[in-house]
Amino acid sequence: MRMGVDALPAACYALPVLVSLLTIRLFYVLWRSGQPSSKPRAGGLRCLIVLGSGGHTAEMMNIVTTLQKDRFTPRFYVAALTDNMSLQKAQVYEESLIESGGNKTVENAHFMQIYRSREVGQSYITSIATTLLATLHAMWLVIRIRPQVIFCNGPGTCFPLCVSAFLLKVLGLGWSSIFYIESIARVKKLSLSGLLLYKLRIADQFFVQWPQLRQKYPRACYAGRLM
């Protein structure tokens, strides 16, 4: 009983210290995000590429084709569990690299699926449980992959993945540079995923494809038309 009484004051002192350390770490992460690395990295960078249904995958694959394949390797493609087309397009692309001799090993590319936070037309009440499940799954994937670079462009599946990667930064368990490229379909306002990542300052680099969006969101970078 005495040990329990003595432990209570110790916990009361330790909790503010822990909160203070996490707050300092959070501000450090926000300050460092977006800055170039001071140490050159040897070898490839583990790259997480988030795909989405519809035009999201087409735009993202267009970006992937411009990457230096020997620099961004291995590549982990992630799509929603209910998205049957996106990973197929990524697989076809990676197979074309192997056939052309630009990619020597199949292990350079990996394909994974993640639970979707909310289906189209799903009620907001039931989406609470699915969002929690998707977040836990995203955290498990990020811990497993430990990506050094994340590319995403707006599908809802990117938000829990980016949040998970950001939490690992704050906890000092890994560092992922998050590059968000807003869809070209977003002319006057950001998508919900983009708006959340922008407001929460989670993305290291935030790109838009229309100059009026750059004027509306000054921390964004105008990248021109990528399609």
Task: Write the DSSP assignment of 170-216 as a string of letters.
Answer: HHTS---EEEEE--TT-SSS--HHHHHHHHTT--SEEEESSHHHHHH
Over the stretch 98-137, which tens digit does the pLDDT of each residue have? 877 655 555 689 999 998 876 666 676 777 777 788 889 9
Least confident of 5-9, 35-39, 47-51, 216-220: 5-9
Over the stretch 155-181, which tens digit does the pLDDT of each residue have? 888 999 999 999 999 998 889 999 999
User: Between these two residues, 105 and 24, which has the higher pLDDT value?
Assistant: 24
- Token pair of 32 as six digits: 């460092």
Is residue 33 very low, low, confident or very high in pLDDT (cuts 50, 70, 90)?
confident
- The structure's pTM equals 0.86
pLDDT score at 3: 45
Closest listed residue to residue 75, CA positions, set 83, 101, 65, 143: 65
- Token pair of 56 as six digits: 């999201």
| For residues 16-23, average pLDDT | 78
The pairing of strands 75-80 and 47-50 is parallel
Provide, rounded to the nearest whole percent, the portion of the chain with pLDDT above 70.
Answer: 84
- Token pair of 82 as six digits: 């209910």
For the cut 60, the answer to whether the pLDDT of residue 4 exceeds it is no
Report CA-CA distances (Å) from 20 to 6, 14, 139, 140, 149: 23, 10, 24, 27, 28
Q: How far apart are the C-alpha atoms of 154 and 175, rounded to whole Å?
A: 21
User: Which residues sit opposite 150 in a β-bridge?
Assistant: 48, 178
